[in-house]
Structure 1
Amino acid sequence: MTTTTTTGFRIHVISSEVLEKVRAGAGDASGRPAERLPAEGGEPLRCCLRDARPGEELVLFGYEPEIPPSPYREIGAVLAHARACAGPATAESYPGDWYGRPQVLRAYDDRGWIHDATRVHDGRNPEAVIAEMLAEPGVARIHSRNVSYGCYMFEITRPD
């Protein structure tokens, strides 16, 4: 699912095709089955870009974000609902549960190489920071990642 924002960028969640395969037991990016677990509450969900509520059924699996083949491709753990959900709550803004959440905003160029515009962001005024990064020559996409663990959250691109 893709969400268009009013601030000149797009937020991309993990594709429904990838999520359907993982949920059906087809294996993750490493070919391993997803782990099923109940949410404790507060886990960042990559399917709908909100924090999990206690008791929700989740899947934990290895995900490889879609960037061109490069030395910077990597597989990391992500969480999603164990069953299909409606996706992000809004199609017009930065994910509400991510405001105030420090993130690494990792910029990539068209080759899939990390760009110098990459920065750690404190979670305040993300729209302005993202606009600055996308204005940098050569930035093709940005991945929002967890500061502590480096886990992928979502992708940000220009609206074109």
Structure 2
Amino acid sequence: MREKQSVRFEKQGAIAAVEWRCGLPRNRMTEFDGKKQDACEYEAGHRIETAVGVRSMPFRVLGIDPGQFSHLYGLSDADLAAEGAKRYVVDSKPGFPDRVEVRDMNIGEHAILLNYEHQPADTPYRSRHAIFVREGAHRALDAIDFIPDVLRIRPISLRGFSHNGEMVDADLVDGDALAPLIEQFFENPAIAYLQAHYAKRGCYAARIVPFRNDRQDGQDIPFWGRVLGRRASSQNQS
């Protein structure tokens, strides 16, 4: 039963990644059938069929809450400067990794460069650094058992922290080998969460936490997962 459940969550995570990559409305993403999809859906759908098998330690990759940055959207360059931030027009891809949607921004989009405290714990590891945020980003990535391309194509510094913010372990890895290292880190009961950093410049990239689906209220299930669950329940009753 646990293996079947893990496979189901693996597939839901990949479906959510397809939706995110292709910008599909939620009410169309009930199941991927591999037929009559455009090129984007086909490419992302291939990820579902070739996704890694059952994971011993499922995980969630999380973007930053955009509410922390929305007050910067639409400000003049002078007002941004007063906030210690700067606007760029994206002129290369890859090159401007957004931390909300956890993707490389498209050419022509606006990026805001700002200083962000990604490790606020009151320990010697408290830290902040420069990050890019896409101007107008309003929904943070929340994906299960899926490594976004922006991480996959870059060398990553993965850091494991305890509940009180002490660093427990760290390692360097190519992005396409990140998933096994995540699982390895979470096998250590002292590690509560992970932070992925882009290794070259040391910038914060994303937060990674264990995926748990053992709460009756569904609070540990991402929003799209709860939607899929309600939809499946209503279909079973009809």
| Alpha-carbon distance, 1:54 to partner | 2.0
Structure 2 residue 53 is matched with structure 1 residue 53: no
State the alpha-carbon separation in 1 of the partners of residues 112 and 123 from structure 2.
27
| Aligned with 2:132 (options 52, 56, 79) | 79
Structure 2 residue 60 is matched with structure 1 residue 10: yes
State the alpha-carbon separation in 2 of the partners of residues 125 and 18 from structure 1.
31
Q: Percent identity?
A: 23
| Alpha-carbon distance, 1:100 to partner | 3.2
Deviation digits for residues 72-105 of structure 1, max 9, x if unmatched? 11110000111135544x8342212321311000
| Alpha-carbon distance, 1:5 to partner | 4.5
Please say which structure displays the higher CA radius of gyration: 2
The answer to whether the Cα contact below 8 Å between 2:112 and 2:132 also exists between their aligned partners in 1 is yes
| Aligned with 1:39 (options 75, 84, 90) | 90
Give RMSD over aligned pairs: 2.5
Deviation digits for residues 104-151 of structure 1, max 9, x if unmatched? 001111121111x31001112322110111111201111000111110
Relative to the length of structure 2, the TM-score reads 0.57
Partner of 1:72, secondary structure, is coil
| Alpha-carbon distance, 1:11 to partner | 1.2
Partner of 1:91, secondary structure, is strand
Partner of 2:91, secondary structure, is coil
Corresponding letter in the other structure for 1:140: A
Partner of 2:143, secondary structure, is coil
Structure 1 unaligned regions, length at least 5: none
Structure 2 residue 151 is matched with structure 1 residue 98: yes
> Counting helix residues as a fraction of each chain, which structure ranks higher?
2
State the alpha-carbon separation in 2 of the partners of residues 140 and 39 from structure 1.
35
| Aligned with 1:137 (options 178, 189, 192) | 189
The answer to whether the Cα contact below 8 Å between 2:123 and 2:166 also exists between their aligned partners in 1 is yes
Of the two structures, which has the highest relative contact order with CA contacts closer than 8 Å and spacing of 6 or more?
Answer: 1
State the alpha-carbon separation in 2 of the partners of residues 129 and 155 from structure 1.
14
State the alpha-carbon separation in 2 of the partners of residues 86 and 139 from structure 1.
27
Aligned runs of 1:100-139 on 2, under 5 Å? 100-115=153-168, 117-139=169-191
Relative to the length of structure 1, the TM-score reads 0.82
The answer to whether the Cα contact below 8 Å between 1:104 and 1:121 also exists between their aligned partners in 2 is yes
